[in-house]
């Protein structure tokens, strides 16, 4: 028998009446009703009411115990009086009538905040006292949900024949899109390990070594700035790779896993799989984003060719996109003024033109007089616009217009309450460009340098790099990127040529990716993989807006661990051992 408890605090029921039991937990509340003490005793599993009366010494003792202390209460289970039954609790029909209470851990300091309302407290204080914050029921439930989701994911992958393999945490630095966390070597002065941004190279090496289907719940470390859906420091992903696999093989496996996860842990309606496959170019045109929220029914249409024939100087030489809003003409003028202010102040646009469509399909609005009948009809037909609708115009240069139109679409969806919060809508974004031109005019990899170009070595030798597509794919859900993956390049010849186009010669490959490049010379199978972000999936399932609320001990937005005091100073002796001298500027 356990020394401190015979039941958890959510377990006793009517059937236990008359039993002598022990419960242990934290005192959530104490109510003194004049000689009768009621204690709400809480543990991870729930709450049980503990009552003390008749024994004045015990009552006096209990009244002096500070809330949030831990106690062991022993006594008899009895039914509650009818007027004290609590239907909100699993144990609401019964209570523990205590004849003994022992303090196990007494709270000796003042609470920095009330536990039940901790989520209303400023975040820095919550993170400093995270061990108290985690006593809050909603935050504790997020951590429990996280554990259950990870366990379910692991079971799903094992059922599908994947082998769980742990890859190294200390590895070499490699350019994978973010800054590395570096670890100095004591044994090799002046040299450094790096914490892995992802197990990318290792999982590909596993494929070369003969492992057929790999996965792990992988920690990843990136020195990045925080966002609402991204935490600095570390995050976790369901990392997987398959040998002798195509893009569709990976998508088929992963969408079933994701569907099952959301079905198991959410009551919302979920997109049936197979999820839609949307080419990157189409996504940027129709939604203005490569992670579109498909709950928003608004679609962006290109009308540049129509307005090339319209004498409207503000649109001249620009790409013109429109968003048609069904029944938008009846919206109050504040919507149109508010959207214009949003475009100017939040999106840094020069303005936002709009029109209303009358019952006779004529146009009303600031630019209506410039649009002739032929252009009007062509525009209305292209966007499936009807009488009573409204049209918003976005005119900008390539590379800017897509993002701006996407922001306008997203904001319209919010302001018009078009987002269905009762559903999860998933889609695959596919056919990403292999390369992009950056600000200095240089050609760079646009997504993942390890990806296989569509068409192989032939397209690398013959096509304009900006026209080459890669076997790369992202899973998006409700406007959030949940996973990113690719069919991997497994050919040394293709690898050299692909990096050459991006301005890197073979020496760079040998320096940064020597293990992978070398392994490809020993018979590598075609392979492909993906890595859904666990933190973001939990954030969606828990209906949280901030990723830190689904992590047990997160850093703050400035990459500080306020609980443990990291990053921290270390002694000169420690620095000397790893051959580091700190040159700290004021």
The string of pLDDT tens digits covering residues 15-69 is 999 999 999 999 999 999 988 999 999 999 999 999 999 999 999 999 999 999 9
Q: Which residues of the chain have pLDDT under 70?
A: 1, 175-177, 228, 586
CATH superfamily of the domain spanning 14-105: Nucleic acid-binding proteins (2.40.50.140)
Question: First and final CA of the chain: distance in angstroms?
Answer: 60
Our CA dihedral for 334, 336, 338, 344, rounded to 10 degrees, sits at: -150
Respond yes or no on whether the N-terminal peptide bond of residue 274 is cis (omega within 30° of 0). yes
Look up residue 20 and give its two tokens.
């002598």
Tens-digit pLDDT profile for residues 326-353: 999 999 999 999 999 999 999 999 899 9
Q: What is the largest CA-CA distance in the chain?
A: 93
Tell me the DSSP string of 496-565.
Answer: HHHHHHTT--HHHHHHHSHHHHHHGGGTPPPEEEEEEBHHHHHHHHTT-SSGGGGSSS---TTS-BTTTT
Q: What is the pLDDT of residue 321?
A: 97
Q: Which two tokens stand for residue 295?
A: 């709950």
Any bridge partners for residue 79, and if so which? Answer: 94
- pTM of the predicted structure, to 2 decimals: 0.92
- CA atoms of 50 and 97, how far apart (whole Å): 6
Query: What is the crossing angle of helices 401-415 and 333-345, to 10°?
Result: 140
Place of tokens 């270390």: 570
- Alpha helices, DSSP H, located in 173-241: 200-209
477/534 Cα distance (integer angstroms): 13
Backbone torsions φ then ψ of 26, nearest 5 degrees: -100, 140
pLDDT in tens, 151-162: 999 999 999 999
Residue 574 CA to its chain's centroid (Å): 37
The answer to whether 532 touches 251, Cβ cutoff 8 Å, is: no
Give the other-Cβ count within 10 Å of 472's Cβ.
25
Q: Give the count of beta carbons closer than 10 Å to the beta carbon of residue 78.
A: 15
Q: How confident is the model at residue 227, as a pLDDT?
A: 72
Q: For 451, which DSSP code?
A: B
Pairing of strands 423-424, 435-437: unpaired
What are the residue boundaries of the structural domains of the chain, listed by start?
Answer: 14-105, 138-223+427-554, 296-419
Predicted pLDDT of residue 586: 58
Q: Which residue has the tokens 């409207």?
A: 312
51 φψ region: left (φ > 0), alpha (ψ -120 to 50), beta (else): beta
**Which one, of 249, 229, 204, lies nearest residue 481 by Cα?**
229
Burial classification of residue 168, based on how many CB atoms lie within 10 Å of its CB (0-12 exposed, 13-18 middle, 19 or more buried): exposed
Please determine whether the domains at 14-105 and 138-223+427-554 fall in the same fold group of CATH: no
pLDDT of residue 322: 97
What's the CATH fold of domain 138-223+427-554?
BirA Bifunctional Protein; domain 2 (3.30.930)
3-state secondary structure of 368: helix
Q: What CATH class is the domain 296-419?
A: alpha beta
d(CA 331, CA 354): 12
Instruction: Tell me how far apart the alpha carbons of residues 432 and 481 are, in angstroms, rounded to a whole number.
Output: 14
Strands ordered across the beta sheet of 300-302: 300-302, 319-325, 390-396, 353-357, 363-364
Is the CB of residue 528 less than 8 Å from the CB of residue 241? yes
Q: Answer yes or no: are the C-beta atoms of 430 and 247 closer than 8 Å.
A: yes
- How far from 458 is each of 453, 454, 498, CA to CA, in Å? 9, 9, 11
């Amino acid at each position: 028998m356990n020394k401190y408890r015979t039941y958890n605090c959510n377990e006793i029921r009517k059937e236990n009446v008359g039993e002598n039991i022990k419960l242990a937990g934290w005192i959530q509340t104490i109510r003194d009703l004049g000689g009768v003490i009621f204690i709400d005793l809480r543990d991870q599993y729930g709450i049980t009411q503990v009552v003390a009366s008749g024994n004045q010494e015990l009552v006096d003792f209990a009244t002096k115990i500070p809330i949030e202390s831990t106690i062991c209460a022993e006594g008899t289970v009895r039914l509650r009086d009818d007027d004290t039954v609590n239907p909100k609790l699993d144990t609401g029909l019964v209570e523990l009538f205590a004849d003994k209470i022992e303090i196990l851990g007494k709270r000796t300091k003042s609470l920095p905040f009330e536990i039940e309302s901790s989520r209303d407290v400023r975040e820095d204080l919550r993170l400093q006292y995270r061990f108290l914050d985690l006593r809050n029921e909603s935050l504790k439930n997020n951590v429990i949900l996280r554990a259950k989701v990870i366990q379910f994911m692991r079971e799903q992958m094992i059922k599908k024949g994947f082998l769980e393999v742990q890859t190294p945490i200390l590895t070499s630095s490699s350019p994978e899109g973010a800054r590395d966390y570096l670890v100095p070597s004591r044994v090799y002065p002046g040299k450094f390990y790096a914490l892995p941004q992802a197990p990318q190279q290792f999982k590909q090496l596993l494929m070369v070594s003969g492992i057929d289907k790999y996965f792990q719940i992988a920690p990843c470390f990136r020195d990045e700035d925080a966002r609402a859906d991204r935490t600095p420091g570390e995050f976790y992903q369901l990392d997987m790779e398959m040998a002798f696999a195509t893009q569709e093989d990976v998508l088929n496996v992963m969408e079933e896993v994701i569907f099952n996860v959301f079905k198991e842990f959410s009551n919302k309606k979920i997109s049936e799989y197979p999820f839609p496959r949307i080419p990157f170019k189409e996504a940027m045109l129709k939604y203005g984003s490569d992670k579109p929220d498909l709950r928003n029914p608004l679609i962006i249409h290109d009308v540049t060719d129509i307005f090339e024939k319209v004498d409207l100087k503000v649109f001249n030489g620009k790409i013109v996109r429109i968003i048609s809003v069904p029944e938008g003409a009846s919206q109050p003028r504040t919507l149109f003024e508010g959207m214009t202010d949003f475009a100017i102040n939040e999106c840094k646009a020069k303005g936002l033109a709009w029109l209303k469509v009358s019952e006779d399909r004529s146009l009303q609005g600031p630019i209506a007089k410039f649009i002739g009948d032929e252009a009007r009809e062509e525009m209305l037909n292209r966007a499936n616009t009807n009488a009573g609708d409204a049209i918003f115009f976005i005119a900008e240069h390539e590379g800017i217009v897509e993002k701006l139109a996407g922001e306008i679409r997203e904001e319209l969806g919010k302001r018009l309450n078009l987002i269905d919060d009762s559903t999860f809508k998933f889609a695959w974004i596919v056919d990403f460009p292999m390369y992009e031109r950056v600000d200095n005019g240089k050609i760079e990899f646009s997504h993942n340098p390890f990806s296989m170009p569509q068409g192989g070595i032939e397209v690398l030798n013959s096509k304009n790099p900006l026209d080459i597509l890669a076997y790369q794919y992202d899973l998006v859900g409700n406007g959030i990127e949940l996973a990113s993956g690719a069919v991997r390049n497994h050919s040394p010849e293709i690898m050299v040529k692909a990096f050459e186009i991006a301005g890197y010669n073979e020496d760079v490959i040998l320096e940064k990716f020597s293990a992978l490049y070398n392994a490809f010379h020993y018979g590598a199978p075609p392979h492909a993989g993906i890595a859904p972000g666990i933190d973001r999936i939990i954030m969606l399932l828990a209906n949280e807006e901030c990723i830190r609320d689904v992590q047990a001990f997160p850093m703050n937005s400035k990459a500080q661990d306020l609980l443990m005091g990291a990053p921290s100073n270390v002694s000169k002796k420690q620095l000397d051992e790893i051959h580091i001298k700190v040159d700290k500027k004021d």
